Amino acid sequence: MSSDKKEPRSTIFDIDKEKDFPDWFGEICKVAELADIRYGVKGFTPFPPWSLMTMNNMFDILEEVLQRKDHLPMLFPTVIPESNLTKEAKHVEGFVPQVFWIEDTGDDEKLEERLALRPTSETAIYPMYSLWVRSWRDLPMKRYQRCSVFRSEIKSTRPFLRGREFLWIESHNVYASHDEVKAQVMEDLETTKEVVTDNFGIPVMVFRRTQWDKFPGGLNTYAADTLMPDGKVIQLPSTHDLGDNFARAFDITYLNENNETVYAWQTCYGPAISRIFGALISVHGDNKGLRLPFKIAPYQVVVIPIFRGDDADAVLKYCEDIQKTLKKAGLRVHIDKRDDTPGWKYNYWEMKGVPIRVEVGPRDLKGNKAVLFRRDTMDRETIDITDLKKKVLSLGTEIDKNLRRIAESRFEGLVVDADSFGAIEDALDKGKIARIPFCTTEMEGLSCDEEIKDRTGGEVRGTRIDVEEKPEGVCVACGKVATEIVYIARSY
């Protein structure tokens, strides 16, 4: 029995996020109890309630949007037989190096065939789609699953941002034509914006990735990047036009209305909620800790009773009435009844990022008042208790708008035109993204990307698809005539 392991309870958080982001990130994961890196297996971290409850709220919003757009949930096994995993040649190349393999069970019994922990589920799902898709009547088939995936090759791990097990939704869709596939890709990008930007307050830039940076086995990859406090970009959801490549590898055919058997067309889309959560806490947090959006905070409101001795019962009863009123309005409300000082509790819940705090003392009780505190601006306001519900709801909306506005302001003036390695490096050193004329995002452009990476530390993120852009001049790297405008950033 040892007690030296016991650490003191968390106190005030105070780290400069912009100046020392890695330290800020590591510390907030620890003191806000978001992830515990002491589990003992590299890249695998337990998620305590605070992070899991937030991610569950994020999942719920994403699932609601997907279901509104006619995607149905399903769930496939965690393991994939090796013979399926290796059916699509480029996919094998991309994913086999990342696989955790299961070969033995129990007391060293060998399995008939090796099983992979899914790194992604195309090769689990598509053999079944081959059986499930029969005629044009079955199409489109729009489905998704919410699960963990496993990738061993991730060497340098960080909670949420780069884990060997992470949480995501993968949507797998089958269509009768390539046009419908292209429309689904656009729908996915709209979903990304609705969920990630409108609901979570994280602005994104959307790119078509280069041919050397696309999903292994697909035709084209489209992805949303956001900006982290250290000036690097991070990829949030990506969606893939798979063409009919996987349909050919897994024999996904259907009888069309002319009674002909033809290959189907496919997309897949993979929003990694745990990674988006990592970006979310980084983008919205400040030097005092987390600032969670009202929409997804596990507790949207925390109520702090303030009393000495005699007033205790009356104040607690008042707090419970407040909780009841707000719960009736559908809000998630917590009363902190712990045996600690109000000041300690204020610091604690500020660090945890709860959007709204209600402070209630004997004087508030007598005057039918309460104090509302908003975490985003740290402003306080005394209100009449009869206005409570209205005030909390409007403040919640305002907080989310404000967090989004702050995040979006970092995107202003972010893109800088560059036409030389020096200008690119200069932009990146200032935490900017460089916009350059480039030879081509087809495979022949790879060596130019590599040269840019060597000389500037940045990489080609792709071409914009929401803005039409015409290049002038020559490729910064090889000097050939530019055919595209691409964006260069340092990245996760």
Residues 1-30 that bind a copy of itself (CB under 8 A): 1-3, 5-7, 9
Which element (helix H / strand E) includes 225?
strand 220-227
Question: Where in 36-75 is the site for a copy of itself (CB under 8 A)?
Answer: 36, 38-41, 44-49, 52-53, 56, 72-75
**For a copy of itself, the closer CB: 28 or 249:** 249
Question: Where in 151-210 is the site for a copy of itself (CB under 8 A)?
Answer: 152-153, 165, 167
User: Could you give the CA distance from residue 389 to residue 238 in angstroms, rounded to a whole number?
Assistant: 39
User: How near is the Cβ of 2 to a copy of itself at its closest, in Å?
Assistant: 6
Which element (helix H / strand E) includes 485?
strand 484-489
Is 267 a binding residue for a copy of itself by CB under 8 A? The answer is no
**For a copy of itself, the closer CB: 72 or 312:** 72
Which element (helix H / strand E) includes 216?
none
User: Could you give the CA distance from residue 466 to residue 450 in angstroms, rounded to a whole number?
Assistant: 26
Interface pattern 345-384 for a copy of itself (x via CB under 8 A): ----------------------------------------
**For a copy of itself, the closer CB: 37 or 415:** 37
Question: Where in 328-347 is the site for a copy of itself (CB under 8 A)?
Answer: 338-339
Cα–Cα separations (whole angstroms), residue 139 to 68, 76, 135, 146, 384? 17, 20, 7, 22, 56
Which of helix, strand or coil describes residue 482? coil
The residue type of 270 is G
Question: Where in 114-143 is the site for a copy of itself (CB under 8 A)?
Answer: 115, 117, 124-125, 127-128, 130-132, 134-135, 137, 143
What is the 3 state secondary structure string of 342-375?
HHHHHHHHHHHCCCEEEEECHHHHHHCEEEEEEC
User: Could you give the CA distance from residue 83 to residue 123 in angstroms, rounded to a whole number?
Assistant: 9
Residue 440: phi and psi, rounded to 5, are -165, 145
Question: Where in 269-308 is the site for a copy of itself (CB under 8 A)?
Answer: none
Query: 253 with 264: CB under 8 angstroms?
Result: yes
Neighbour count for residue 263 (Cβ, 10 Å) = 15
Per CB under 8 A, which region of 14-22, 96-104, 357-365, 431-439 contacts a copy of itself?
Answer: 96-104
Q: Which of 12, 69, 101, 480 binds a copy of itself (CB under 8 A)?
A: 101
For 192, what's the count of Cα atoms within 13 Å in the CB-facing half-sphere?
28
Question: Where in 207-246 is the site for a copy of itself (CB under 8 A)?
Answer: none
**For a copy of itself, the closer CB: 341 or 386:** 341
Bridge partners (DSSP) listed for residue 302: 334, 357
User: How near is the Cβ of 303 to a copy of itself at its closest, in Å?
Assistant: 16
Per CB under 8 A, which region of 149-157, 234-242, 310-318, 352-360 contacts a copy of itself?
Answer: 149-157
Return the closest-CA partner of residue 187 out of 257, 262, 267.
267
The residue written with tokens 């995107």 in the block is 411
Per CB under 8 A, which region of 98-106, 288-296, 456-464, 472-480 contacts a copy of itself?
Answer: 98-106
Per CB under 8 A, which region of 145-153, 176-184, 221-229, 283-291 contacts a copy of itself?
Answer: 145-153
How many residues of this chain interact with a copy of itself, rule: CB under 8 A?
71
Six token digits for residue 47: 């998620």
**For a copy of itself, the closer CB: 22 or 73:** 73
Neighbour count for residue 492 (Cβ, 10 Å) = 15
User: How near is the Cβ of 241 to a copy of itself at its closest, in Å?
Assistant: 21
Per CB under 8 A, which region of 19-27, 34-42, 320-328, 474-482 contacts a copy of itself?
Answer: 34-42
Residue 413: phi and psi, rounded to 5, are 65, 20
